[in-house]
Structure 1
Amino acid sequence: MDLQKFLTDAAVLVIGGVATVSAGYYLIKDDIRNYFRLKFGRQQKEENPQLLSLRLQAHERLIVFVERINPSNLLIRLHQQGVSLKDLQAILLNEIRSEYQHNITQQLYIGTATWNVVKQLKDDTIAMLNNGVKNLPGDATGVDLSRMVLQHMTGVENNPYDLTLDLIKKDIHQLF
């Protein structure tokens, strides 16, 4: 008889304990979920739709910027027949700097790491053009600079312009 009373009391306690724990979990389950989202970095991307639109536009503009300073596009777009080496250099550098100044505010809407890569790409492009001019003889033409830069780009194993575009796209995908 004592065994039956013991089992009855144990069952009542277990059922009461399960009910208490279930009720407690139900009351604080949202707090638990938020805690784990914050702890493990899985915050939902709940942004103002207007801010999201601005961030997407900033990424789009940076993609256009990277494409416009890519030497293969830049040289085709700006090359003029018979232009001198120094004139082509000035035209190219002015275009890159102008494009950069036009897009400088986009850093407000993208990640710091992505912005730093875009900025470094701009600086590397300018350095590549300046080094190309330094390595050419004094009587070289704009065509010689174009040829040298494009040959250099074909020899690069990982195209930095493509890598930067991939980084921007990854940054976009983190918004969703």
Structure 2
Amino acid sequence: MNTQHLLTEIVILFAGIFLSLMAVYLVLKNDIQRFFNLKNAELNKESRAALLPLRLQAHERLILFTDRINPANLLVRLHQQGIPLSALQASILNDIRSEYQHNITQQLYVDSTTWTVVRKLKDDTIAMINNAVQGLPADANGIELSKIILQHMAGIDDNPYDLTIELVKKDIQKMF
């Protein structure tokens, strides 16, 4: 009986300790939760602060990319006196693809819609160059390609390069 009495007392003691710990937990539960919420908020604030320069730089790079693939800027930068049509076309397409590959990681830091528009602008620019070349005779030169492209751009009411830059700027404004 002595053993049974001792076991009963031990069970009662552990039950009391368990109930006491549960009561303390229930009393402190809200404080503990609030502490962890504040810690998470601090971490989120710090991570957002660390990401801000990267996001701004990504937007800068996309504005620069958009400006660099604008046909008016491409043609001024790549055109050389007497350049053959095929050489100018290859140079333009190579430059666009190279610029795109250089900036492809920027999609991590911008809105997915913005990135989709930038990628579509790149694809449309390549298609425009290829279509302009197809409409020219085989013996045409780079000046004729430049004229066709610039005439096409002049005929567009809303410049897609300017619209894309405005979209990137709006994406930046969402951050503040």
Q: TM > 0.5 between the two?
A: yes
Counterpart code for 1:79: H
Which residue in 2 is equivalent to 1:53? 53
Query: Any unmatched runs of 5+ in structure 2?
Result: 1-43
Distance 1:121 1:93 in 2: 13
Report the equivalent of 1:129: 129
Tell me how far 1:138 sits from its aligned partner: 1.0
Give the distance between the partners of 1:147 and 1:174, measured in 2 at CA: 39
**Alpha-carbon deviation of 1:48?**
2.3
Q: Across the two proteins, how many residue pairs are aligned to each other? A: 132
Could you give the per-residue CA deviations for residues 48-73 of structure 1, whole angstroms, max 9, x where no partner exists?
22200000000000000000000000
Matches within 5 A, 1:1-176: 46=45, 48-176=48-176
- After superposition, the C-alpha distances for 1:130-172 in whole angstroms (9 at most, x for unaligned) are 0000000111100000010001001101110000000000000
Question: Which residue identity is paired with 2:82?
Answer: G
Q: Report SS of the residue matched to 1:113.
A: helix
Q: Which amino acid aligns with 1:102?
A: H
Which structure is larger by alpha-carbon Rg, 1 or 2?
2
Write the distance in 1 (CA, Å) between the matches of 2:92 and 2:171.
28
Specify which structure has the higher proportion of helix: 2
1:175 partner SS? coil
For residue 136 of structure 2, give the secondary structure of its aligned residue in structure 1. Answer: coil
Counterpart code for 1:63: I
Superposed structure 1 runs of 4+ greater than 3 Å apart: none
Q: In structure 2, what is the Cα distance between the partners aligned to 1:94 and 1:171?
A: 28
Q: 1:112 & 1:139 partners in 2: Cα distance?
A: 42
RMSD: 1.1
Pairwise CA distance, 1:91: 0.2
TM score, norm. by length of structure 1: 0.73
**Aligned equivalents of 1:147 and 1:117: distance in 2?**
26
